[in-house]
Structure formats: structure tokens, C-alpha cells
Structure 1
Amino acid sequence: MRLTTLTSALALCATGALAQGQLNIYNWGNYTSPEMIEKFEAETGIDVTITDYDSNDTALAKIEAGGHGFDIVVPTHSVLPVWIEKGLLQKPGIPEMENYGNIAERWRTVDWDPGREWSVPWQWGTTGVAVNTSVYDGDPNTSAIWLDPPEELVGKVNVVPEMQDVINLALLYVGGTPCSADREELRAARDVLVAAKPKWMSMDYGMTEKLGNGDVSASVNWNGSTFRARNTNPDVVYGYPREGYVVWMDNAAILADAQNVDEAKAFLNFIMAPENAAMISGFARYANGIEGSEAFMPEDMRTAPEIVVPEDLQDAGVFTLACPGETNEMYSAIWTELLR
């Protein structure tokens, strides 16, 4: 039945029979290629609306509240199992889709979605540190930049308010383990975060523009966002904390209460085509999980320091899965204290 439904949907797209179709995508802000969306609309006749969110927590709360009207969402791998457990997603028959075979083997059988029953790769990257070298020219490859800022950076540091990334980076900095249930490790992470906060400027998103403009001198940030900031301001560099940095993947999935299911299936199949996945990466400047997409990407992505991890720091990257419930409760307690 899934195969029949999908085949029908793709056939309709090919003939333009979905000319009156609608698709509502709920995605991270400044993360969706306008060129890719224009191509999808032109090829299918489906009218796409994109609504932005700023965090995994925001997206989950919005969908749980109901009445949202969205068809597709793009959760990070570490929280995708939560979406599945809560019954918020549907299985759209991804393995039967025409372009399923383009998913790179590394990303096809993953712990958070074995066999890709629920989601397809969107983009993957790292969470590290961005620094303006005209303000601070020391070693960028350390979380001390934001957890024990040098004098040049005091009052000029931003921390993106993504709870799991921030606490996991702090745990790694104090020698702990991401998703740790060890109370001593969590206490050490909390203490270093609380002590560092008075030296920060802000806890905010939107660092691509602010780093590029020089409004912020350093930030916990994502590699693709930092890449885009460097394209505006060559003084911006991306650091991979040698104490440990976070590796993640965002995944596109269809919501359980989606109203435009055929259109959503067509979109998932579309973004698994190498040339279309390359448009997503070319815009947001992150790698993706689609084999063969590299051939269609901008040349500068093949050598960018934000994409190519230094050999001596490759082992410092940590790919974390969803934290257990008890650990999440302790993370939330730390986060609440930090936001006071």
C-alpha cells in the first residue's frame, strides 16, 4: 500500500497533477535553500510554505500543542526518538522511495532511525566555537573561549541556547561524558556554566549575521553558520574544542497529523536526489547524507575548514544519542538555573 501511494504521488508530481498542492514545512531558521524550494515548486506545481523555529524544544512544544498545520519537520537526531515515542511522526515508506538508495551507507542504518523508516537526512555538522581573530588571536580549538573567556573576550561571547549542545560541551570540558547520569559530572558542568555566564554577552541565535557583522566576537556555534559568517568576515574562524565537540544530524520527517501527505512524500524523495541535496548544503553550508551530492556542491565546500575537521581533532567529536529520561530531568534543572 505504501509503494502504491508513493508511486501515485510521484506520478502526479511528474505530470503536474498536483498543481494545486500545498506543503507546509516547519524547519530551523535560515536553513532552507530558496533555490531548492523554487526548483521543487517548478517541477511539481506544489506551493511550499516555510515556517522557522529556533530550537528543538520550540519545535517539539509547537507540534505537541496541536493545531499547527505543518506537514514536515526537521528534528535533530538526538531528539528524533522522542518524536517517534510520542507518536508525532508517521512512517511514509521511505525505503520504497525512488531515491532512497542515494542515502550514504553511513547514514542509512543509524541508531536513532534504523533502516530510515521515519526520516531522511537533511544536513549534518558539528557544534563548536566561532571566534573573531581580530579580537582574539589565541587557540580557537577549546571551549575555554566561552567557559573561561580570556580578557579580550569577556562580555563579547554568545552562547546559542540549545540545551543539549551546551550542556554536552560543558560536560566534555570538565572531563565528563555527554548524556551522563553521574551527578558529580553534572554538578561540575553546572558549576562551570554558572561561573562563566556573567562573562557572556548573550544567549541567542542568529549568529551568522552577528559574527559576520562583528556584533559578537565569539560564540558557541554551528560549523555551517560559522562558514557563512566567514564568507562575510574573513576574521571569523571555527574552532573544534579539543576537550570534545558535538556531532549531529538533522532529519526531515512527516508529521503524524500532516494534511498534505502525498506532497510531503514527494518532497522527501526530492531531497534525496544528489543535485537537490547539494542545493540544501550549498545554501546552509553543512554536509548532507546523500551519496554523490558532493559533485554538485560549491567548490569551496570541499576544502572549507568548517567542513574538513583537522586530523588531530577528528577523534574529539562525539555523536550523542537521546539522553535517558532521568538525565533529561537533570539537564532541564541545570538549564533552568542557567537561564535565571
Structure 2
Amino acid sequence: MKRLIATGLTALLATTGIASAEGVVNLYNWGNYTSPELLTKFEAETGIKVNVTDYDSNDTALARIRQGGHGFDIVVPSNSYMQTWISEGLIVPLDKSVVTNHGNIAPEWVDVDFDPGREYSVPWQWGTTGVIVNTSVYDGDINDAGLIFSPPDALKGKINVIPEMSDVMAIAIYYAGGESCTTDMEVMRKVRDTLVEAKTHWKALDYGTVDAHVAGDFSAGIYWNGATMRARLQNADLAYGYPKTGYPIWMDSATVLADAQNPENAMKFINFILEPENAAMISNFARYANGVTGSEEFMDEVMREAPEIVVAPELAAAGKFSPACPQDVNDLQSQIWTEVLQ
């Protein structure tokens, strides 16, 4: 969802300065998640310039668009938020006369629960949320959420947790023996107590921490697989663990906003990223898999057998696709999360 949050690689534009003119499309996306090479190629082929503005969470993006007056054309929500975007009329159906590459979406990513038939969205990237560990500091089993929720002495005070509620809550609920969107109050009390106690052993709750993990400022954390791979390629001591008790699988998808000022250009960009070679550019940059058929042949060799991408069979079954939870469940999780953040 997801992602690697950073500043400087993409233009963080003031909303009053976002252009809305012919030859422009304004993309609102997770930070450091958009390939500069992709943007250069799109502009060269179409003459359309892409302005990119970063956000750091699904909640941030949703709140900004709800306010209106933003000037953005495209946004990239995660699957568990997609039905909210659709039901509130914030995004529009794809124009299939422009999005002619719709058939390139891999079959398994077409009839998805969050957007049946892909009427509103196309795949951007998909991945998992698990545990990053510096194996020079801790050499035990890394496929364990307990490293974060009941950390060994070697990791105490050296842990960073991404402040993305849905991901952290999911891992904590699975760790407590519950299932996604549970209303079991005994499980949720255990989740609350676990998180509040665990936080006393955390050093930070931050998004943009690839450099910090590489430098050894953190020794463990909850993190996304692609961001972990980017860190591991710079520091071989870093490894990605898949919690045996359960971990979330997610997909971020590109959509066109209902109040887009450049809707046709937005549809052209949506169509562009469904070209296999272009989808591979996004994966090669952000280090996540995508949902476009034929993109694999254009991916960097290092992606094809990366442990952050290829899940061992014995751990694959613990992955669970993140659903959209009912409002009462979201409210309960938000209440717990607010207490954790205090």
C-alpha cells in the first residue's frame, strides 16, 4: 500500500500550483512509488507532462480528495479502501475507448472483490506487509510477528513500525488469533494490550525508513516487501520475514478522479501503464510485483527470485488478502490505533 515514503524524488507540489492544461496530468500517489523513467517515456511518447504529488497513507489521500479543490487527476488507493472511493463517487469508470489495454490485466486481477471486472481501476503494484530484520543484530527466526509485538532484548528500542493502521492492525489481529474484520472483543482487547505494551519497545513509527534500515538506525520493524528489497540491495544483512501467524496481501490500483481536470490525459496514462514494458518499469523501480500479463520478461533479473517477491510455499498460506471492513469494525480499530499513537 506502499511503498516507500520519501521526499525529493518526486515533485511535491502546492495544491494552488498544480497545472490544469492541455498536455498535463496530475498524479497523486504514494511517495517514491512512481518510476521517473516511466514518466519520461510517457511524456516523450504523448507530449503530456506528469506532475506527481506524494501522500503517505490511504487516509491522507482520502481526506485530501474529499475536501475537493485539489487539482489531481489520478489517485492510487489500496484495495481495502477502493469500495469507499467508488461508493462516495470520488472516482469514475474507465473509458474503455481510451483504456484499450484493459485486456492486459492478468486474469487473477480482473474479477476482484474490491472492483469486480475492473470497471474503475487498473493494477499499479501488489505486495505484502511483513517484518524487516537486520540479521547481524538478530539471527533467530524472522518469520515471527513476535519480534515486533514481544521483541527479544536484542531488538528492543531498535524497532520502527510503519504508521499504516490497516497493515499493523491486520498483523496484530492475526498474531492474537483473530481473523480480518473480527468483532470478537476478547481478541480486540488482546490486540489493544499487545500494541500498547509493544510500543514501549519501539523506537519510531515512520514511513520513509529505507535509508535508516540500511544505515543500521533500526534493527527490525513492520515494513512492506518492496521497500525491504530496496533496503536489502544496499545492505545484505537485511531480510524480510513472513509472519507465520498471518500477514496481509494488498494491491494498489490507479483510478481517475471524478473531478479530474484532465480526464482524457488521465485515461491515456492509465492505458500506458498497462503496457507490459511500462508496468515492468514501475516494478523495477519500486520492487513490487504488478498485475499486468507479460511484464515479467521486462523485469530486472534480481526481481525474479527475490525472497521478498517469491514466497516460500510453507509461508504462502499465511498470507491473507486484506478486505474492506464494515464501518463499525473500522471505528473499533481506529479507536485502538489512536490509543497506540498517543
Normalising by the residue count of structure 2, what TM-score does the alignment of the two structures yield?
0.93
The aligned residue for residue 33 of structure 1 is 35
* Native 8 Å contact 1:131 1:238 kept in 2: yes
The aligned residue for residue 228 of structure 1 is 230
The aligned residue for residue 207 of structure 2 is 205
The aligned residue for residue 159 of structure 1 is 161
Structure 1, unaligned stretches of length 5 or more? 1-18
3-state SS of paired residue (2:323): coil
The 2-side partners of 1:230 and 1:27 are apart by: 24
The aligned residue for residue 310 of structure 2 is 308
Aligned length: 322
The aligned residue for residue 67 of structure 2 is 65
1:51 to 36, 50, 53: 53
Equivalent positions of 1:300-339 (< 5 A) are 300-339=302-341
* Native 8 Å contact 1:146 1:220 kept in 2: yes
* Native 8 Å contact 2:98 2:271 kept in 1: no
Deviations, residues 107-142 of structure 1 (Å, cap 9, x unaligned): 011000001010000000000000011111111101
The aligned residue for residue 18 of structure 2 is none
Displacement, 1:24?
A: 0.4
Equivalent positions of 1:95-134 (< 5 A) are 97-134=99-136
1:215 to 209, 214, 217: 217
The aligned residue for residue 136 of structure 1 is 138
The aligned residue for residue 250 of structure 1 is 252
Paired amino acid for 1:32? T
Change (3 A) 1:72 1:242: same
Identity of matched residues, %: 59
Displacement, 1:202?
A: 0.5
The aligned residue for residue 16 of structure 2 is none
1:78 to 80, 92, 96: 80
Name the Cα RMSD after superposition.
1.1
Displacement, 1:94?
A: 4.1
Paired amino acid for 1:281? S
The aligned residue for residue 4 of structure 1 is none
The 2-side partners of 1:94 and 1:177 are apart by: 37
* Native 8 Å contact 1:179 1:327 kept in 2: yes
Paired amino acid for 1:101? G
Change (3 A) 1:195 1:331: same
The aligned residue for residue 14 of structure 2 is none
Structure 2, unaligned stretches of length 5 or more? 1-20
Displacement, 1:96?
A: 6.8
Change (3 A) 1:94 1:318: farther
3-state SS of paired residue (1:328): helix
Paired amino acid for 1:59? A
The 2-side partners of 1:96 and 1:166 are apart by: 38
**4+ aligned runs moved over 3 Å, structure 1:** none
The 2-side partners of 1:262 and 1:36 are apart by: 19
More helix by share: 1
Displacement, 1:208?
A: 1.7
Displacement, 1:95?
A: 8.1
The aligned residue for residue 11 of structure 1 is none
Normalising by the residue count of structure 1, what TM-score does the alignment of the two structures yield?
0.93
Paired amino acid for 2:237? D
3-state SS of paired residue (1:27): strand
The 2-side partners of 1:255 and 1:184 are apart by: 40
Paired amino acid for 1:295? E
Deviations, residues 125-170 of structure 1 (Å, cap 9, x unaligned): 0000000111111111010110011100000001100001111100
The aligned residue for residue 147 of structure 2 is 145
